[in-house]
Chains A and B, each alone.
Chain A
Amino acid sequence: MVQEKVIVMENLTKMYGNHVGVKDLNLSVNKGEIMGFLGPNGAGKTTTIRTCLALISKTAGEITIFGLDSHKDAVAIRKKIGYLPGDFGLIPSVKVKSYLKYLLSLRECNSTKKMVTLAERLELDLDRKTHELSKGNKLKVGIVQALMADQELIIMDEPSGLDPLVQQEFYRILHEEKKQGKTIFISSHNLAEVESVCDRVAIIRKGQLVVVEDIRVLREKTGKVLEVEFSDSVNIAELKLEGVSEIHQDNGRFILTVHENLDGVIGAVSSHRILNMTLKTYSLEQLFLKYYAEAENRKRGGK
């Protein structure tokens, strides 16, 4: 089945003078998926997103959104987009409610129902004044305004900094939006943060796309990092189990990279007395190293 594409970027390049913002970026986002856009700070995530929204011009390449040119048809496209900027300010000295109603009116949307529901779910007080809000509450205002008008495409630039419980609720909301057929493009510099919510991730570094991967494939490839500390002595050979690709020993601590058979590994580990145990997602830097190594191998193999 051919997937309907909502965003298509072709050879997108944005230069700031001599400095590269993004270079030759080819990326598409399918209808009805949640795509994570990952990269360290300064990788070009915000530049890419803001170019899509025509907030900045592009140096070269094409962006098509809903089949329309991102810059020529910007206003028509924006009727279907909800956007949370990475950094934004609110109109001061007004109630959150009137600020959001104002934005709704600019989107020519008359219903405040979704705005109220979202605010309740994210625990945002609509009667507060905008200038009294904490950073987290300000972010909630940003999230609500991006979602409240029931836009088809939601673009969010690093929506992080919520309390863990609210963050979970936020992800549930994104899942529900997706079920309703919305397309979501969400950027982050933290893989663990978006891992649970994304269908696919695109990874960008130094303005260039490193890889686009299905989240399940990515998980399988990278695996999880299991750190265990035992109170009794454990032989490293005992941990060489099925699905474990790497083991490091650091004093009493063992660091295992687990790709599959997680329950088998945990079972084996739990036959000993455990002092401490953490299960972590690969860090972005580790991911880069892995994908770079892969690309290098492929190059060598090709020769």
Chain B
Amino acid sequence: MFGRITYMELKAGWKGLLIFGILILVVSASMVQLFPVFRDSLTEELEGANKVNLELPNEQGGNITLSWEPLENATSYMVLEDTRVSMVTAKIAYSGEETSITFEKDFEEKRYYAVMAVIDETSDPVLIGIATTEEGADPFKELLENPVYSGFTGGRNISMLEVKGFVTLEFFSWWWMLAGLFIAYLSVSVIANDFENKRMDVMLSTPISRRRYLLEKFGAMSIIALLMILVAIVGLAGGLASIDALSEFSAAAAALSLIGCLPFLMVIAAVGMLTAVLFQKVRTGMGVTFAFVFTEFFLYTFGGFSKSLEWLKTISIFNYWDYSSVIIDDLFKSGDFVILTVLAIVLVVIGVWVFEKKDIPT
């Protein structure tokens, strides 16, 4: 009867799975608890942005006046100037004890000014606020929309002040790593361990074909992935309910955004099993599978850095699990779900083919 090996796999490893399940439940539920705390501290920081005032000249070539509220314990102030909100290429425009500076507007492009207070020589300067030369623009909002963040959100503008934005950026960025690497580890070891511990000879002396063996192990991996997702849904929805945020972020959105992860995890499991039958060693298989997961992640991140690199995203599995689409646009991309499912099936078929070709080592 099909399912014996799957069942044995779950039975033999239930203790580890239970501990991991509890970990997922606790982390996903408590992660949401951090949101109110985070929101309050962010709001406080945003208010700081209003403490910097920038007056634009009326005519071309006039003077800009940048002023800020003095900070009691500041010994001096520092103004950084950059054309990017991320301030990664900033130059020091001013350093001194004044709280207001005036300079000529001899440029056309949009520039950003970050004002910092220097407390003493030993500690880092404190950010007072950011101002920009474009009227009506909100530099802090722009900062949040920066590709460095939006890489995680499919290029959407989302605010960390909303529970949706917080969960999208904070919860899912660790979830994929925890669940993805766990399933990578598990899928390699359930097969490579049978090689290394010399269990394959007895297993394959029973009327179990190599194909069935692999399919049953894949079945076990899929069930474990589904269970992890279900536990995370319960944790996430429970966490949202506990901070009264279900009206903003529904349990259905939590469920759908995580369900999209199932074929994503199945692809990782299929890669893990493929490397296990190919190398027949836990260490090698694990190394290659982990490298695969991280490569896919970097492809997706690099793809978000510029328009010309966007094609990199299309070859990353991360592109086909768009949780922010569910959370922010209320749209579950079933096409992506199918693409990843098909990819997982193709990888399993390749795995079976490789397994049937190779000798079982002694």
Contacts and interface: CB of A to CB of B under 8 A. Distances in A.
Contacts of B205: 53, 55, 78, 81-83, 85
B199 A90 contact: yes
B162 interface: no
B339 interface: no
Interface in A72-103: 74-76, 78-79, 81-83, 85-94, 102-103
A208 interface: no
A85 B359 contact: no
Contact of A102 (B8, B198, B209): B8
A74 B200 CA distance: 15
Interface stretch (A104-112, A255-263, A286-294): A104-112
Nearest to B195: A89
B360 A50 contact: yes
Contacts of A102: 4, 8
B362 interface: yes
Given A50-B201, A90-B199, A93-B12, A106 B360 contact: no
B362 A53 contact: no
A277 interface: no
B360 A56 contact: yes
B247 interface: no
Interface string A211-239: 00000000000000000000000000000
Interface in B326-362: 357, 359-360, 362
A183 interface: no
B202 A105 contact: no
B221 interface: no
Interface in B150-205: 197-205
Nearest to A106: B206
Contact of A88 (B1, B12, B199): B199
Interface string A18-58: 00000000000000000000000000001000100111110
B204 A108 contact: no
B299 interface: no
> By DSSP majority rule, is chain A's interface helix, strand, loop, or mixed?
loop
Interface in B1-49: 1, 4-5, 8, 11-12
Contact of A94 (B5, B12, B201): B12
Interface residues of B, number: 23
> By DSSP majority rule, is chain B's interface helix, strand, loop, or mixed?
loop
Given A105-B4, A106-B4, A106-B5, A79 B207 contact: yes
Contacts of B207: 75-76, 78-79, 106-108
B208 interface: yes
A83 B360 contact: no
A283 B162 CA distance: 84
A89 B199 contact: yes
Given A90-B199, A102-B8, A46 B206 contact: no
A14 to B, nearest CB: 9
Contacts of B4: 102, 105-106
A70 interface: no
A50 B362 contact: yes
Interface in A98-149: 102-103, 105-108, 142, 145
A91 B201 contact: no
Nearest to A53: B205
Given A75-B209, A79-B207, A108-B207, A103 B202 contact: yes
A88 B202 contact: yes
A87 B357 CA distance: 22
B359 A106 contact: no
Given A93-B12, A105-B4, A87 B362 contact: yes
A89 B362 CA distance: 11
Given A75-B209, A89-B197, A83 B359 contact: no
A76 to B, nearest CB: 8
B127 to A, nearest CB: 54
A108 B209 CA distance: 14
Given A106-B207, A107-B206, A89 B198 contact: yes
A81 to B, nearest CB: 6
A289 to B, nearest CB: 29
Nearest to A83: B205
A161 to B, nearest CB: 16
B216 to A, nearest CB: 10
A144 to B, nearest CB: 12
A78 B204 CA distance: 8
Interface of B: 1, 4-5, 8, 11-12, 197-209, 357, 359-360, 362
20 contacts: A53-B205, A55-B200, A55-B201, A75-B207, A75-B209, A85-B202, A86-B362, A87-B201, A88-B198, A88-B199, A89-B199, A91-B199, A93-B12, A105-B1, A106-B203, A106-B206, A106-B208, A107-B206, A108-B1, A142-B202
- Shortest beta-carbon contacts, A-B, top 5: A89-B197, A83-B205, A85-B201, A56-B359, A106-B206
Given A56-B359, A78-B205, 20 more contacts: A50-B360, A50-B362, A53-B204, A55-B359, A75-B207, A75-B208, A78-B206, A82-B205, A85-B198, A87-B362, A88-B198, A88-B201, A88-B202, A89-B199, A91-B199, A105-B1, A105-B4, A106-B5, A106-B207, A108-B1
